[in-house]
A and B are shown apart, each in its own frame.
Chain A
Amino acid sequence: MRFVDEFRDADKAHALAAKIAALCEPGRQYKLMEVCGGHTHTIYKHGLEDYLPESITLVHGPGCPVCVIPMGRVDDAMHLAAQPDVIMTSFGDMMRVPGSQGSFFDAKAQGTDIRMVYSPLDSLKIARQNPDKRVVFMAIGFETTAPSTAMTMLRAAAEGLANFSVFCNHVTIIPAIKAILDSPDLRLDGFIGPGHVSTVIGCRPYEFIARDYGKPVVVAGFEPLDILQSIYMLMVQLSQGRSEVENQYSRVVPWDGNIVALKAIGETMELRPYFEWRGLGFISHSALKVREKYAAMDAELLFEVPGVRVADPKACQCGEVLKGVLKPWECKVFGTACTPETPIGTCMVSPEGACAAYYNYGRMNRQRVPEAAEASRS
């Protein structure tokens, strides 16, 4: 298939694997973090780690939108959904995320009106079709999905739709990366930058990582060769002692981002003073809320939201996994108490979550390709 197979070419992958292996300094360990959950998914789905020598470890970062939603926030959403005349709409991933009282799916089975949508615009359709109901969209995601929420709000405002509101849980990636960089228990050598987020915010916001923290960043696409090439570009920088922001995904990501999308977000949303992230705790200026101008569409103002803080189960080590301190399988409850069927932590829920990806795709003995195996022996 055109525009897909080219980016999954095994011959090119073998060639890249050899070049990557050649750049590994004997005895040195490399830890590279892929920030975005979409990358984690690609890495596991295509078995990309088979192409890497043992000395390169991929650390799975915090860029999985549902993984960073704290339990209390899910409970708040369930409370909202249970209000009279409310139809809650949500992306599919969110449906299985457990709060302290179960997930959206469980609530749905008990009769709460929760509907899965593919786009926030579908929520508008539901709102138009049900004028006597109050339709709430459970908005989640990084800068990738925030513009579509923003555009939906603008459309609702233009139509004068009075029964549509947004429960805003959008988060921003930069403060999360900064929190990880400032975390004392983590040593990273470089970052595979999030591709989709960067289509909106561009590459400039990562410059502080290279400048202030001395870590190279390569913004990467989502096909397996994109990621392998980005790892190669990171290894070249590391071998030359450089730390710069580079754009591997230039076919999609403009250096300055998407101004129209940024404007739409700026028009409808503003930064919260602080927001709780699952496992990472409260991070200041790390999330978005609905601007006062659009208060009529802010579910947090329209409804009483309990805002209860629910502590994560102590046994759950999602925080350490999100920060990359622990590999998924190193978590105490991984695979026994916490499985994709009965996830305790959010990392086990989304196909983009590090734990779910490892459990579903990587639960096996790895067999490296010859190029990578040879480098592992030396």
Chain B
Amino acid sequence: MTSSREDLASTEGLAGTEDTAGTEGLAGTEQDQPGWIGEALREHAEHQRLDVNAGGRRQLPLADREQQVLDRIDRARRRRPRVREERITMSHGAGGKATHTLIEAIFLDAFRNPLLEPLEDAAQLRIGASRIALTTDSYVVKPLFFPGGNIGDLAVNGTVNDLSVAGATPKYLSAGFILEEGFPVADLARIAETMRDAAAAAGVYIVTGDTKVVEKGKADGCYINTAGVGVIERDSGAALGVARAQPGDAIIVSGPIGDHGITIMLARGELDIEADIASDTAPLNGLVAGLLDAVPEVRALRDATRGGVATILNEIAKAADVGVLVSEDDIPVRPEVRGASELLGIDPMYVACEGRLVAVVPGEQADRAVTALRAHPLGEQAAVIGRVRAEQPGIVQLKTAFGGTRIVDLLVGDPLPRIC
């Protein structure tokens, strides 16, 4: 009975209630029940024991008790991720917490090696004397054609961008097509032409490919998978990584955020909202080259795709174990995107871009980096949106335009259908 008495003590200390009946339930019957509730409670009991071992003080002042709970949550969040669901749900593809958990618990666990472990957008490889970056990506966007582009240029640009933010000069791409029986050949030709033009614009070649056709109903028109190879020519490119972020660094975005995601949501026509916006899909290799030439000290680059800028900021905070503080007033968002977001109850910070990057640079280099980005047509509205700091490691905070502060966490699940 010792353990249940300890549970009781720590529970009172935390909640300050006299609800002993509930605590007994926690220690006894409910933990034994099968299914997700029992499982969650068993894990919880484990944490309570940790709390007690770590001091287990009772009836602390209110603010201290709140802090104790915050610390406990922090510990819970650093646990090894585990997929609880028995089946894949749409949340696993939404780019938020569920996606991260799936990647770390299933794929990283199975494939673990030092090249994969950083979980950057592209892997860095050495072949002979050359430094190579390799990436792969799949595209299942719906609708296939949307204002500003289609699945074809999205695929080429997305692959080019994953290589670019890894510090590589993109060179060669592959393109694999999964086509649904009945898909119009004219549409496929349009997609291929767009890919040709996008590859030419980015200075890359599509050098190998694959085609599969599946029965009607087994896919949604056309899916594209790509791989990309680039050469890492600069030492500054080889060193990039979000784990290098340090207190005092500046965080920069290269332009207005959320254009692509909002465009796709509206293009689906389910919301009956019309706005004059187009996807921002674009190749970032020129922009990145200009930035790295001007500021070789850049610490990290990421393209803000699925999960938006908020997800990148969380990846920085987690990988480097630093705090991140950004200011809502400084984040560029087009009025059309803001308007649609307000109507839909969506935060633009979580909305996908396909031609925007987030850069972490040493604080004293911030102005030079912004100047370099603004010199390129894709970076005209580049802006410093916040700073890396030592306080509150692992947590991203936003100074709201209203003047308050709040946390910007990873998204739990995307309530909206797939967007890239």
A interface residues with partner B (beta carbon < 8 Å): 1, 4-5, 8-10, 13-14, 44-51, 92, 95-96, 98, 100-102, 105-106, 108-110, 116, 118, 224-225, 313-315, 317, 320, 326-327, 329-342, 344, 351, 359-367, 369
Contacts and interface: CB of A to CB of B under 8 A. Distances in A.
Given A330-B16, A361-B407, A13 B402 contact: yes
Given A49-B404, A336-B73, A337-B43, A344 B89 contact: no
B23 A332 contact: yes
Give the top 4 A-B pairs by smallest Cβ distance, nearest first. A47-B404, A314-B25, A337-B44, A335-B73
Nearest to B338: A1
B309 interface: no
Nearest to A101: B35
Contacts of B14: 330, 332
Given A8-B402, A315-B44, A332-B23, 15 more contacts: A9-B402, A47-B406, A50-B405, A105-B89, A105-B91, A314-B21, A315-B25, A326-B17, A329-B66, A330-B14, A332-B11, A335-B72, A341-B98, A351-B345, A364-B392
B26 A332 contact: yes
Contacts of B335: 1
Contact of A46 (B30, B72, B85, B404): B404
A333 B207 CA distance: 54
Nearest to B47: A336
A109 to B, nearest CB: 4
Contact of A337 (B22, B41, B398): B41
Contacts of B30: 313-315
A13 B406 CA distance: 16
A364 B89 CA distance: 30
A342 B41 contact: no
A292 B407 CA distance: 48
Interface of B: 11, 14-17, 19, 21-23, 25-26, 30, 35-37, 40-41, 43-44, 47, 65-67, 69-70, 72-73, 76, 84-85, 87-91, 97-98, 101, 270-271, 335, 338-339, 342, 345, 392, 395, 397-407, 409, 412-413, 415
A378 B195 CA distance: 66
Nearest to B345: A351
B402 A362 contact: no
7 contacts: A10-B401, A49-B404, A105-B413, A330-B69, A341-B98, A344-B40, A367-B405
A98 B37 CA distance: 10
Contacts of B339: 1
Contacts, number: 166
Given A109-B87, A314-B21, A335-B69, A361 B26 contact: no
A51 B404 contact: yes
Contacts of B90: 105
Given A47-B405, A109-B89, A360-B407, A330 B17 contact: yes
A211 to B, nearest CB: 33
Contacts of B25: 313-315
A40 B111 CA distance: 43
Contacts of A338: 40
Residue among A98, A105, A332 with the most chain B CB within 10 A? A332
Nearest to A338: B40
Contacts of B400: 8, 45-47
Given A314-B21, A332-B26, A333-B41, A92 B415 contact: yes
B303 to A, nearest CB: 25
Nearest to A330: B15
Contacts of B345: 351
Contacts of A326: 15, 17
A163 B66 CA distance: 51
B407 A332 contact: no
A224 B400 CA distance: 11
Nearest to A4: B342
A315 B26 contact: yes
Nearest to B26: A315
A51 B403 contact: yes
B28 to A, nearest CB: 9
A274 B98 CA distance: 39
Residue among A48, A333, A340 with the most chain B CB within 10 A? A333
A337 B40 contact: yes
Nearest to B67: A365
Contacts of B67: 365
